[in-house]
Amino acid sequence: MVLKMVLAAAAAAAVLAGSGAADAGATLDAIKARGSFKCGVGTGTPGFHYPGSDGVWRGFNVSICRAIAVALFNDPNKVEFVPFTAQQRFPALQTGEVDILSNNTTWTLTRDSQLGFNFGPTVFYDGQGFMVNKKLGVKSAKQLGGATVCVQPGTTTELNLTDYFREHKLQFTSVVIEQVAELRAAFFGGRCDVYTNDSSALAADRSAATNPDDYIVLPERISKEPLGPLVRHGDDQWFDVMKWTVYAMIEAEEFGIKKTNLDSFANTNVPQIKRLLGMEPGMGKALGLDDKFAYNIIKTIGNYGDIFETNLGAGSAIKLERGMNDLWTRGGMQYAIPFR
Amino acid sequence: MAGLAHPKTAPSAGLDWIPRVWNNRLVRTTLYQAVLFGGVIWMFAYFTGNAVENMARLGITSGYGFLDRPANLPIGEGIIAYTPADSYGRAILVGLLNTFKVTIIGCVLVTILGVTLGIMRLSPNPLLSGLVQTYIEVIRNTPLLLQLFFWYVIVRQLPAPRQAFNPLDGVFISNRGVQIPWLEADAGLWWIASALGLAILGSLAYRRMAMARQARTGEFTPVLPLALVLLLVLPALAAWLFSVPIIPTIPELKGFNFVGGTSLTPEFTALLTGLTMYTIAFVAEIVRSGVQSVAHGQWEAARSLGLRDRRILRLIILPQALRVIVPPMTSTYLNYAKNSSLAVAIGYPDLVSVVNTTMNQTGQSVETIAILMAVYLSISLSISAFMNWYNRRIALTER
């Protein structure tokens, strides 16, 4: 009996030790060996990351991960989505539970350094805003003294919130709930006067209300929120794959290459387009990918503008303007690094 | 042939200590335990080393220095003053006190209500005992988290502050909680509180004397009148002596919310109600089984002395039932303290909620989880130590 217990304990220890050792390899090698990767997303924000009625994950952030799956395996389904609350996401990436987060995480110094992450290109430039019920008659965030504010814990949102109220010497009471769905229900149920989040997320949450017209987003933007995918320190090749997948989608939009007109570029003379689409070899290979990785991404997923319009823009229920997220050539901030 | 037989026996003669030692009970058990202990130590060392190595690889700095950094976290409610400019250490303390608040108030409520419910369950009235039994079965067989959400949704359905129920002057019930008038915070209130504490101690001492006197002489001394006088006069005397201004603050609607008075937030109310309603079902069953464990002859003997049922219960049955009740009550209190961490789901800023956020903002997962474990372990061990002491005190002294 005792001997059995000892053996069982030793076996368990050996198994645990084995699983620990497997994590030590480079992320990209492990992903290639597995034939798929794990992408951490949020628990559900319309437009950004949400499971459809068929159980398939959809949204802007989800498309980024699917594009990486296409770049690696030429198959948008070679990625597994794992939803996390704002509080759970960082340990999940740090410990290797997922290989990448694509869930509206704000790029900050602390996260880039102390938490051990590398941030990819900013895929969505955002700013924090406040949403209130129209009945309150509030026109500006400066009138919010004494209000009760609903906020998600473990976010830059809650830090900016305290900064803003301190700066303007206003008092407030907070209600922090980890699950977004519960938090939204608390706000729409009248538990809070104000709901604060990135303004794009506010627009998305407003679209999920039973009566969206009862609510307005106040004009103030109290912070800069550069949102983008991130990976953990320790594998630069994997970081490169993530970065250049995003740049490929932005570059494609800049050249006017869309999902719908992709094949009309088959006989192009423009060298930049030839390099991007892999007609001139070398770019994909440098990243350890297929030379046609960008072609495959645009064919299966689309360019940056495509995924923006379908998930967040005119083609969606949220109807966000491109604004800061337009291309630099049109006065926005989206700018791809040259494919050379 | 003889030459062959000799080498056969010689080695067995040299090694026959092996089965002898191996079959020695003491040697074997020591060996097994040493191997198991070594394995546990090795596993612990391995995981620690693994964590340290991985944190170094990711460039995560370790240590508790973050506790002094400004937290910037908003915390909805707390017993001690807190602003976002305070440190993470203080934020965690606010969370800890919030956990204490709900646990202490809850354990008192659970004891009183649970015992009442358990005795009602034993009532000869079939309607009463049936109702209580149904309650117990429903509550014990649905998940606690679901019940917490249920209570939170109920509290949230109350009207908005501007349409609040106003049953009494200065009392408002809305989806922002229950607001009641309170006393203006003043340093002098400590004098009144101390006087009240003194009055309670005095009353308890007097009760002890009265009981000792009754045991000695059989004469009954009423305790209640003197206790009431003490409880009323001492605080009043303190207020007059130290001229503490007693200024009530009355809640009123100002802007978005009520200002003044004190309030029970919806989150606290939902958590306290949910945990209490859940736990009393278990306490009721513990009390029922305890009372039923006392031999029926005790009731009959007491009745033959002419005692009334209520006094039999209080003086004879419950003291004996306590010996059966106390050990499972210990684990019920422990469960209450641990279940209070479900607060995080409905937004009550308890320890887990604050520590989770701290972990997220600082990235110090290992350190913050260590804090959480240390705190819950201390709470549990303290409750357990207290209950074990109480259990020994009431245990049957066998002579």
Same domain flag for A316 and A234: yes
Query: What is the H or E stretch that residue B339 is in?
Result: helix B318-339
Number of residue pairs across A and B with CB atoms under 8 Å? 150
Residues of B in contact with A5 (CB under 8 A): 36
Per-residue model confidence (pLDDT) at position B162: 81
Instruction: Please state the domain count of chain A.
Output: 2
Q: Hey, is the C-beta of A186 within 8 angstroms of any chain B C-beta?
A: yes
Q: Are residues A236 and A106 part of one domain?
A: yes
Q: Looking at residue A115, which CATH number applies to its domain?
A: 3.40.190.10
Mean pLDDT of B287-313: 91
Lowest mean pLDDT among A268-282, B3-17, B87-101: B3-17
Which helix H or strand E contains A201, and what residues bound it? helix A199-207
> CB contact, 8 Å: A137 with chain B?
no
Q: How far apart are CA B262 and CA B256, in angstroms?
A: 16
Both A67 and A194 in one domain: the answer is no
Q: What's the pLDDT score for residue B51?
A: 82
What is the chain B residue with the closest CA to A18?
B46
Q: Which of residues 154-173 of A touch B (CB under 8 A)?
A: 154-155, 158-159, 161-163, 166, 172-173
Q: Is the pLDDT of residue B91 over 90?
A: yes
Chain A residue nearest residue B177, CA to CA: A191
Longest dimension (CA), chain B: 115
Q: What percent of chain B has pLDDT over 90?
A: 44
Distance CA B115, CA B132 (A): 12
Distance, in Å, from the CA atom of B84 to the CA atom of A64, rounded to the nearest integer, reads 35
Residue A206 corresponds to which tokens in the numbers above? 């407003």
> In terms of domains, do A152 and A240 share one?
no
Count of all residues that appear for chain B in the document: 399
Residue B190 has pLDDT above 70, yes or no: yes
Question: What is the structure's pLDDT at A60?
Answer: 96
Are residue A212 and residue A76 in the same domain, yes or no? no
- If you average pLDDT over each of A215-229, B186-200, B208-222, which comes out highest? A215-229
The strand pairing partners of A41, in sequence order, are: A83
pLDDT digit string, tens, across residues A43-96 = 988 999 999 899 999 999 999 999 999 999 999 999 999 999 888 899 899 889
Q: Please check whether residue A22 lies inside any domain of the structure.
A: no
Which of A174, A180, A232 is the best mutation test for B, with the most CBs of B within 10 A? Answer: A174
Dihedral of alpha carbons B391, B392, B393, B397, sign: positive
Residue span of the structural domain in which A113 resides:
28-125+227-257+303-324
Euclidean distance between CA atoms B152 and B229, whole angstroms:
41
Give residue A160's Cα distance to chain centre: 19
Residues in Cβ contact with A97 at an 8 Å cutoff, skipping those fewer than 6 apart: A38, A40, A82, A91
**H helices then E strands: how many in chain B?**
14, 8
- How far apart CA A128 and CA A199 sit, in angstroms, is 5
| A109 and A247 both lie in a single domain | yes
As a whole number of angstroms, the distance between CA A132 and CA B157 comes to 19
CA distance A37 to chain B (A): 20
Give the three-class secondary structure for B207. helix
Residue B254 has its nearest CB partner, among A146, A175, A182, at: A146
- One domain for residues A150 and A112: no
pLDDT at position A161 over 80:
yes
Q: Is residue A295 part of a domain?
A: no
Residues A152 and A194 in one domain: yes
pLDDT (average), residues B327-343: 93
Percent of chain A residues past pLDDT 90, beyond the cut: 69
**A190 in a structural domain:** yes
Residue A198 belongs to some domain of the structure:
yes
Contact predicate B139/B117, CB 8 Å: no
Residue A3 has pLDDT above 60, yes or no: no
**pLDDT, position A299:** 95
Residue A38 counted as domain residue? yes
Out of 1.10.1040.10, 1.10.150.110, 3.40.50.11610, 1.10.3720.10, select the CATH number for domain B88-184+247-394. Answer: 1.10.3720.10
**A86 contacts B353? CB cut-off 8 A:** no
Query: Does any domain span residue A219?
Result: yes
User: Do A236 and A308 belong together in one domain?
Assistant: yes
A47 domain residue, yes or no:
yes
Give the phi and the psi of residue B196 in degrees, each rounded to 5: -65, -45
Both structure tokens of B1: 């042939």
A85 and A63 part of one domain: yes
Work out the minimum CA distance from B30 to partner chain A, whole angstroms: 11
CA-based nearest distance A298→chain B, Å: 33
Interface test with A, best of B361, B364, B365 (most A CBs within 10 A): B361
A78 and A218 in a single domain? The answer is: no
State the Cα–Cα distance between residues A142 and B197, nearest whole angstrom: 46
A260 touches chain B (CB under 8 A): no
